[in-house]
Amino acid sequence: KPKTIIALAGNPNSGKTTLFNAITGARQHVGNYPGITVERKEGTINLKNTHVKLIDLPGTYSLSAYSQEELVARNFLIDEKPDIVVDIVDATMLERHLYLAIQFFELGIPVVLALNMMDDAKKQGLRINRKKLSELLNCPVVETVARNGQGKKELIDVAIKQAQLKNKIWAPLDISYGTDIDLALDEMEEIIQAEDFMTVRYPARWIALKYLENDQEIITLGGQFTDISKRLTEIVEQTKEHCLKTLNIPPEAIIADYRYGLINSILKQNIIIQEKPQQERI
């Protein structure tokens, strides 16, 4: 039977573990990632057509190297290449939670979005046009209530279908971060692309983006005092200086602004419909 590896990712407290437990029940195993204290939770489900391995990734706000959890999640995705990532978002905090989704798209990871906490959203009178959201994000969107297991079957079905359908080659989404950053990325991408040793694990343009975001783990990729690291550092320094002079913010802040800009341009298209909140029953 073919195997499908599904990783559950999302911000802390979005309901990953609750959903993981609802799906796997007792068939789970808890360990640690080698050398660190971050928990590694795996579970299995046996379906008619496929054997599913489910991994509950640590909660993260981004895919930078700011924390051990973020690095674990990122390295897992890159090294173990799950067939599909289920990104669990809190439907009542869509704008903030989509920030991570955008970063999955930037890396090219195939994603299914789970709008979790739909019970809370409904209580608040929030309705989400998930068909339109799905079209605009170009990924399937499923509503769930992890607490009572609602939507979990549809979610797994959609994830498996998407995993089988997606090409194994990741297709990173090319976002514009404004002219200055885009030009720097173009230049850096070309340099990186020529170095096979750098693109073994990551897409070239994504490496360039991480250089501009001052990602310490990625910056060591180019080696120390090498010609390539010198050229890349030079471009980063020039771009940073220019951004600080003209906009008074560093490149990583500009990049974050553009990500939120993209999220807002999507949400502005009547994705969230505010109705009258449900009456609390006394």
How near is the Cβ of 117 to ligand GDP at its closest, in Å? 4
How near is the Cβ of 12 to Mg ion at its closest, in Å? 7
Task: State the binding partner of 277 from ligand GDP, Mg ion, none, CB within 5 to 8 A by kind.
Answer: none
- The reply to whether 116 sits near ligand GDP by the rule CB under 6 A is yes
- Write the CA distances from 59 to 7, 11, 48, 247, 261, integer angstroms: 12, 5, 30, 32, 23
- Please, which residue, 77 or 188, has the CB nearer to ligand GDP? 77
- The reply to whether 117 sits near ligand GDP by the rule CB under 6 A is yes
- Residues 136-175 vs ligand GDP: string with x where CB under 6 A? ---------xxx----------------------------
Task: State the binding partner of 120 from Mg ion, ligand GDP, none, CB within 5 to 8 A by kind.
Answer: ligand GDP
Confirm whether residue 111 is marked as ligand binding. no
- Choose, by CB under 6 A, the member of 9, 10, 57, 114 that binds ligand GDP: 10
Q: Can you say whether residue 81 is alpha, beta or left, with left for phi > 0 and alpha for psi between -120 and 50 degrees?
A: left
- Please, which residue, 31 or 46, has the CB nearer to ligand GDP? 31
- Residues 47-66 vs ligand GDP: string with x where CB under 6 A? ------------x-------
Confirm whether residue 8 is marked as ligand binding. no
Task: State the binding partner of 251 from Mg ion, ligand GDP, none, CB within 5 to 8 A by kind.
Answer: none
What would the 3-class secondary structure string for the chain be? CCEEEEEEEECCCCCHHHHHHHHHCCCEEEEECCCCCCEEEEEEEECCCCEEEEEECCCCCCCCCCCHHHHHHHHHHHHHCCCEEEEEEEHHHHHHHHHHHHHHHHHCCCEEEEEECHHHHHHCCEEECHHHHHHHHCCCEEECEHHHCECHHHHHHHHHHHHHHCCCCCCCCCCCCCHHHHHHHHHHHHHHHCCHHHCCCCCHHHHHHHHHCCCHHHHHHHCCCCHHHHHHHHHHHHHHHHHHHHCCCCHHHHHHHHHHHHHHHHHCCCCEEECCCCCCCC
- The reply to whether 114 sits near ligand GDP by the rule CB under 6 A is no
How near is the Cβ of 76 to ligand GDP at its closest, in Å? 16
- The reply to whether 119 sits near ligand GDP by the rule CB under 6 A is yes
Task: State the binding partner of 14 from Mg ion, ligand GDP, none, CB within 5 to 8 A by kind.
Answer: ligand GDP
- The reply to whether 17 sits near ligand GDP by the rule CB under 6 A is yes
Instruction: Catalog residues that contact ligand GDP under the rule CB under 6 A.
Output: 10, 12-18, 59, 116-117, 119-120, 145-147
